[in-house]
Amino acid sequence: MTELMTAIAEIVRAGGTTMRQAFTAPDKPAYSMKGRQDYLTATDGAVEQLVRDAIERHFPGDAVLGEEGGGSVDGTRLWIVDPVDGTANFARQIPHYCISLGLMVDGRLEAGAIYEPNQDELFMAQRGKGAWLNGERMQVSGVSDIKLSTVEIGWSPRIPVQTYVDMVGRAAHAGCSVRRAGSGALGLAYVAAGRIEAYAEAHINSWDVAGSLLLITEAGGHVSDFWTPGGIANGNPILASNAALKSSMQDLFGTPLI
Ligand code: IPD
Ligand code: CA
C-alpha cells in the first residue's frame, strides 16, 4: 500500500472504531434532529474532529470539507469527509453506517475510502491503481440483464416525494429489485464490490459520495459527472452502475454515465 493509502486507512479505521464504540456502548447514542428526517448525534461531530486532527497531523496545510463543520470547497488538495454516513441508521441502532473520506487533487478524486466498522469492511481506491475490499481487488458485478439487477435508490427530504416515487416506479417496472438501506456512501461502495448493480439518487451531497466514486470507476464501473461546477458545495444527482448495465441504467434514470 502507498504511504497515502496507509494514512487514509489509519484515519478511517480510527473514525470507524470510535463510531462503533459509541454504537455498542451501554448508553446508546442520543440523537437530535437537524431538520425533518435529518438526524444528528454527538458522534458525528466527534468523529469529524478526529479526522480533521489526523489530516492536519499527516498532511499539514491541506483543506478539509466536512458534513458537520463545513469548510473549504476548493484547494489544490481537498479532503472531503462524512464522519457518519447513515446517521439515521446509527441513531436508531441499525448497524449499517460508515465513515467516508475522499481526497481531491486539482479538482479530481485521487483517493477514496469507506470504512464500515460493524463488519470490519474497509473499501479503498487510488486513481489508476485499483480498488480493494479488505486488501482483495474489487470488481463490479457482471450482471447484464436488468431484470436480474439490484438497484439502491437513495432518498432524502431534499427532493420532492414524487421525484423519488417516480424513480422507484421506473426501476420496479423495469424489473429491478429496488432497495434503500440509508447510507449513500455504503450503497455506492456496494456497487464497486459487485453486491448491487447500481445506485441512484436525485440529489446527494459531496461528502456522501467523495469516498466512494473512485471505488466504482477503479472497480470497472461507471459514474455520472458529479463534480460539475457547484457539485462540491451544493451536491448533484448521482448515478453509478456496473459496466454491463451502463446503457440500461442511463436510459432508466435519464442520467449520462461517463
Ligand atoms: C444521507 C444518507 C442517505 C442519502 C442522503 C444522505 P446522512 O446522509 O447517505 O442514504 O440518501 O442523501 O444525506 O444523513 O446519513 O449523513
Ligand atoms: Ca451523509
Domains in the chain, please, with CATH?
A: 3-137 (3.30.540.10), 146-253 (3.40.190.80)
Q: 194 with 241: CB under 8 angstroms?
A: no
Nearest residue to 190 via CA among 86, 44, 48: 86
Residue 14 in 3-state DSSP? helix
Pick from 33, 164, 204, 206 the residue to mutate for probing ligand 1's pocket: most ligand atoms within 8 Å of its CB. 204
| pLDDT tens per residue across span 184-228 | 999 999 999 999 999 999 999 999 999 999 999 999 999 999 999
Q: Is 182 in the pocket of ligand 1 (CB under 6 A)?
A: yes
Residue 140 in 3-state DSSP? coil
The cell for 231 is: 457539485
pTM to 2 decimal places: 0.97
Strand pairing category for 150-153 and 198-204: parallel
| pLDDT tens per residue across span 46-73 | 999 999 999 999 999 999 999 999 998 8
Q: Is 155 in the pocket of ligand 1 (CB under 6 A)?
A: yes
Distances (CA, A) of 71 to 20, 65, 74, 78, 207: 26, 5, 9, 10, 12
| pLDDT tens per residue across span 92-147 | 999 999 999 999 999 999 999 999 999 999 999 999 999 999 999 999 999 999 99
